[in-house]
Structure 1
Amino acid sequence: MGKQDTKLKLLQAFTELVVENGYQAATTIKIAQLAGVNESSLFRLFGNKKGLLLALIAQCVHDIDNLQNEQLEQLDLSECLFQVAQQYQTFMRTHEALVMVGLKESLQLEEVKEATNKLAIHFKKVVETILIQRIQTGEITKKINPKIQADNFNWLNFGYFLTQHNAHNSKLSEPKRTDFLREHIHEYLRGIL
């Protein structure tokens, strides 16, 4: 097994254990066992458990920086916000371990707090920019505050993500998730048009 394969296996095992049991319960022994490698490989490649966390954070920050939103301007407002909501949910599920560590332990782990804040700021700016552009074109009333409405949109999406995380065995299927997000967008738009 190559070095990259071992790193990937360790990161996947770490992610799985953090999602299931939390950061503190994800011991280096359990991580190595789940990855099918020797614990010394974890120490050699990452130094310690925090090294795994930092690698996970680096991956998340890289993914945030690479999110693309240029094509959204051509979509009607409902479809535009739906695409942002879909992207948000997909991103959160992909980085679920880091999000959950951020919720539970960001006070002790400054690096996690910074990464989760960067994610929140990114999606807020995306939605805020969309709302400002659509106010300028007259699609949305000028009476709304784009900053507050961007926060509202993201809080609704974050709440949905948390609900799905907490309902492990009863996660909604894709069509139901799509239905939920479309209804959420419809109701959201009723308040800002």
Structure 2
Amino acid sequence: MPTQISTRQKLINAAIELFATQGVTETTTKAVAELAQVNEVTLFRHFGNKHGLLLAVISESAVFQELGEILRQQAQQTHTTAQAIKWYASNRLTAIAQFPELVLSILGEAQQYPVENRRIIGKYINQISRDVAEYLATVMQREQLRSQLPVEKLASLLNYILLGYAIIELATETNELNDREEFLNDLVKLFLGENIVSTTSTENVIDLPANLVHAILQQAKKSGLRDYALVYVLFATGLSPLDITRLERSHQISDPHQHLLQITQGAVRQVPVNQWIMGKRYGSYTRNPLTQWLKSRKDNSSALFVNDSGMPITEQEIKARWQELTKELITPEGKVPVIEQAQQTWCVEMLVKGISIEDLSILTGWSSTKLQPYARRAKEKLALEQALRLDQKA
């Protein structure tokens, strides 16, 4: 049975078609009503006048509709600021391209609209910038980055550039902007540049000493196979609790020569599951705390980790298990270890072992900028080790 289209939607659809082909100024309410096959009085009852209809077209188009919610969902799937900017730019250009003539008509004739209508259009544009600012702020906070400019201004500038690019792309035959992928990559470079800096400094990259790491793993082992495997993955892969919640059994690649986990959301990549953690070997690639946990499972859940009820474990539950396991342990700074320090410890250890920042960037999905403080911390540890060796030779 065909879906019934409401009278309101018929009028909006007719308006989109006529605004795009004739322009807003040349389109009459009578023509819209006739195309929608309704009485002109009905149009006035729904929208007041032509410009009220125009506002409905704008606010309910794919360019505007549900953007805030889409961005909030995407923020949870995107791990780096570079990915966030590129995804948003590509998404908006695609949305605009669905109604190219309409966009050109609205922008080209905006000066002819009543002041109140222009203000309302401006309100929608400002709302988009606020939604984008919230989206960027969420991803940047997770990546521990900050913008030299207020994030609201960063979002506005991004929208202005995208709109300008879209107009040129739609209104001209120039070949200079035909490579959209190149434009998107250049846009990311432009916005990251010197404007985006790390909020992480050397003093708050606080990796854990080897004896404390092994003590945490020992506590987890006493607690049970799941907790042991969970803490093992934190220290052996450098994954965040959120990354771990997204893992499924099928994401594990294990053979005598390697043990890998496939990250399928956010920064898509593979990460190694290390045999050696802070100088101590925890099994082999095929027999370790994670493989033993999976071998013991009797449930049918596809999730790599499940809670006591057999449901996929949540980020909050992972953090709760960490707090329980570490509540009686103290760092050299006199504090209880926090779960973020597992990831920091792994990063520093990988750099101390000799991995390059570029390669670590691939494994973590983090930018080289974010990894600079970790590199400095690794150099500090290497310098200290070198000083100790020299002292022992004296």
What is the aligned counterpart of 1:75 among 69, 72, 79?
Answer: 79
Shift of 1:128: 5.7
What is the aligned counterpart of 1:166 among 164, 171, 174?
Answer: 171
Cα distance, 1:146–1:68 mapped onto 2, change above 3 Å = same
Cα distance, 1:95–1:148 mapped onto 2, change above 3 Å = same
Range with bigger deviation, 24-33 or 127-136 = 127-136
Q: Report the count of equivalent residues.
A: 185
Higher Rg of the two aligned structures: 2
Kept in 1: contact 2:64–2:128 (CA 8 A): no
1:192 counterpart residue number:
195
Kept in 2: contact 1:54–1:111 (CA 8 A): yes
2:154 counterpart residue number:
149
For 1:46, the aligned partner's letter is L
Shift of 1:85: 1.3
Aligned partners of 1:19, 1:3: CA distance in 2, in Å?
A: 24
What is the aligned counterpart of 1:126 among 104, 120, 132?
Answer: 132
Kept in 1: contact 2:79–2:142 (CA 8 A): no
Deviations 1:75-120 (A, max 9, x none): 2111111112123223444566367435523651524531442233
Aligned partners of 1:95, 1:110: CA distance in 2, in Å?
A: 24
Cα distance, 1:79–1:133 mapped onto 2, change above 3 Å = closer
1:4 counterpart residue number:
5
Between structures 1 and 2, the one with greater strand share: 2
Kept in 1: contact 2:55–2:121 (CA 8 A): no
Shift of 1:185: 1.5
For 2:109, the aligned partner's letter is K
Shift of 1:132: 7.3
1:113 counterpart residue number:
119
Aligned partners of 2:80, 2:30: CA distance in 1, in Å?
A: 51
Question: TM-score under structure 2 normalisation?
Answer: 0.38
Kept in 2: contact 1:85–1:157 (CA 8 A): yes
- Where 2:75 maps in the other structure, the secondary structure is helix
2:40 counterpart residue number:
43
Gaps of 5+ in 2: 197-394
1:85 counterpart residue number:
89
Matched-pair identity in %: 18
For 1:85, the aligned partner's letter is A
Between structures 1 and 2, the one with greater helix share: 1
For 2:165, the aligned partner's letter is Y
Kept in 1: contact 2:25–2:109 (CA 8 A): no
Aligned partners of 1:179, 1:11: CA distance in 2, in Å?
A: 36
Shift of 1:129: 5.2
Aligned partners of 2:86, 2:110: CA distance in 1, in Å?
A: 31
Cα distance, 1:169–1:109 mapped onto 2, change above 3 Å = farther
Aligned partners of 1:143, 1:52: CA distance in 2, in Å?
A: 40
1:63 counterpart residue number:
65
Aligned partners of 2:142, 2:21: CA distance in 1, in Å?
A: 45
For 1:122, the aligned partner's letter is I
Kept in 2: contact 1:82–1:185 (CA 8 A): yes
Aligned partners of 2:145, 2:68: CA distance in 1, in Å?
A: 29
Shift of 1:13: 3.5
Shift of 1:25: 0.7
Aligned partners of 1:65, 1:134: CA distance in 2, in Å?
A: 19
Aligned partners of 1:152, 1:136: CA distance in 2, in Å?
A: 22
Kept in 1: contact 2:71–2:135 (CA 8 A): no
Kept in 1: contact 2:81–2:139 (CA 8 A): no
Cα distance, 1:11–1:158 mapped onto 2, change above 3 Å = same
Aligned partners of 2:119, 2:107: CA distance in 1, in Å?
A: 6
Aligned partners of 1:169, 1:17: CA distance in 2, in Å?
A: 27
Question: TM-score under structure 1 normalisation?
Answer: 0.68
Kept in 2: contact 1:14–1:31 (CA 8 A): yes
For 1:79, the aligned partner's letter is Q
